Amino acid sequence: MNTILGRNKLKILLLENIHQVAQQRLEECGYQVTMEDAALSENNLIEMIKDYHVLGIRSKTRLTEKFFDKSSHLLTVGAFCIGTDQVALQSANLRGIPVFNAPYSNTRSVAELVIGYLIGLARGLAERSQAAHKGKWIKSAKGSNEVRGKVLGIIGYGHIGSQLSVLAEALGLQVVFYDIVKKLPMGNARSVDSLADVLKISDFVSLHVPDTPETRNLIGKKELSTMRKGSYLINASRGTVVNISALAESLRSEHLSGAAVDVFPQEPESNKDIFETELQGLANVILTPHIGGSTQEAQENIGREVADSFIRFIQYGSTTGAVNFPTVDLVAHKNSVRLINVHKNVPGVLKNINEIVANVGANISAQYLATDSNIGYLVMDMEYAEADEAYKQIIKLETNIRTRILR
């Protein structure tokens, strides 16, 4: 879509009960926002979206190639969640539609839950609580410890791992970590050279790596046997990272004293489906239904983060945080018009655009370009008079995917 659109005419559709903070922020900017509680079927959405310029979804709405074919007028899409598997990202990219998400909005929620696991495991909470519910009284200090002074080994020192590091030190744990990338240690944490070294020295091992070919079964029989006898394993990262059978065996043989697991290789699709794992029924094992990031605060952060990405993109053309688009980070343009062009990334395209700009006599005050293998994203700040003429000529180029003007 090529556009010269006034702010109050911009219409945004938010589906799947997105946190109301998103609506508030977008309405404060003057946009018209429609909220729907549920996801829509593909055909209903294709029909409804004709009247909107921006779409926000969560994980239940699937946006396919067919959807983008019929909705290529969309300016942008926001996935108000962490994952973007539900969106045909390449199809959106080829049509010049950036897709934003909020990958780190629930970092703190996960780190806090892991602190809960640490204390819960050290005090045998799962077992004692279940017993108390059944009328059994297990009052004993045997096997119960403070976490203060214990060694926490963090595997993957990214957003969650490093946040956990800070919280754990505040509780008096000694933190060591291993990451494949060199990371700045927070506080008194110490980087260790290998995964095996972390496993050997830690009382608790907590996993915070992504799902990659290298991290599948990162913790199997060999790694579990490398862990200290009586230590604990925590996995709130991805279900593929731990070999569940090997973990169950290590717990049964009492090599490990306990485990807390939030993510599983096979997880139920919905709350109505049955959940099964070999870890069920084992002593001192905390099992949770992938709730590490599921808090009200995280939902609100997600609402705020994606709404802000929309605003920065609509008002300034900034694509920072888009998962399928070249990144150009921009601030407001003053005393000029901003012309934004998405084009096919083929030889000669910039020459043609520059020729147009030169021919209309536009004075460019700033120019930004970022590309990926499919598209180029070009932003030019120019004087008012010439922008409209440049726009008219640029949208006629064969390489033009979409062009818009921000005033």
- Which residues does the annotation mark as catalytic? 238, 267, 290
Binding mask 82-101 for ligand NAI (x = CB under 6 A): x-------------------
| Per CB under 6 A, 156 contacts ligand NAI | yes
- Beta pairing class for 190-191 and 258-261: unpaired
Is 238 a binder of ligand NAI (CB under 6 A)?
yes
Bridging pattern class, strands 375-382 and 337-344: antiparallel
Cβ–Cβ < 8 Å for 99, 323: yes
Q: Which is nearer to ligand NAI, 228 or 238 (CB)?
A: 238
Q: Choose the stretch contacting ligand NAI; rule: CB under 6 A; options: 125-133, 151-159, 264-272, 331-339.
A: 151-159
Contact 40, 62 (CB under 8 A): no
Binding-site member from 89, 94, 126, 209 for ligand NAI (CB under 6 A): 209
**According to the binding rule CB under 6 A, does residue 166 interact with ligand NAI?**
no
Q: x/- binding map, residues 326-365, to ligand NAI, per CB under 6 A?
A: ----------------------------------------
Measured in degrees and rounded to the nearest 5, phi and psi for residue 227 equal: -65, 155
Q: Could you say whether residue 180 binds ligand NAI (CB under 6 A)?
A: yes
Q: Which stretch binds ligand NAI (CB under 6 A): 16-24, 93-101, 179-187, 385-393?
A: 179-187
Nearer to ligand NAI, 100 or 316 (CB): 100
Q: Does 214 sit near ligand NAI (CB under 6 A)? A: yes
Beta bridge partners of 34: 13
The terminus-to-terminus CA distance of the chain in angstroms comes to 17
- The per-type count for the chain, helices as H runs and strands as E runs, is 13, 16
Shortest separation between residue 111's beta carbon and ligand NAI, angstroms: 9
Residue 295's alpha-carbon distances to 86, 106, 262, 291, 394, in angstroms, are 22, 8, 14, 8, 46
Whether residue 378 contacts residue 404, with contact meaning beta carbons closer than 8 Å, is answered with no
Residue 316 near residue 330 (C-beta atoms within 8 A): yes
49-88 residues in contact with ligand NAI (CB under 6 A) are 82
Q: Where are the beta strands (DSSP E) in 40-114?
A: 54-57, 76-79, 99-100
Nearest approach, Cβ of residue 328 and ligand NAI (Å): 22
SS3 390: helix
Q: How far apart are CA 77 and CA 68, in angstroms?
A: 10
Among 31, 157, 204, 313, binds ligand NAI (CB under 6 A): 157
How many C-beta neighbours within 10 Å does residue 268 have? 13
Q: Which window, 59-67, 133-141, 204-212, 311-319, contacts ligand NAI (CB under 6 A)?
A: 204-212
Exactly one of 73, 221, 255, 290 binds ligand NAI (CB under 6 A); that residue is 290
Considering only 293, 303, 321, 326, the residue that binds ligand NAI (CB under 6 A) is 293
CB of 99 to ligand NAI, least distance (A): 18
Applying CB under 6 A, among 178, 264, 310, 325 the residue interacting with ligand NAI is 178
The tokens describing 137, both together, are: 């009284």
Which ranges of 144-207 would DSSP assign to H, the alpha helix? 159-170, 195-201
Distance CA 298, CA 296 (A): 5
Is residue 292 close enough to count as binding ligand NAI by CB under 6 A?
yes
Sites of contact with ligand NAI (CB under 6 A): 82, 104, 106-107, 110, 155-161, 178-181, 208-212, 214-215, 236-238, 262-263, 290, 292-293
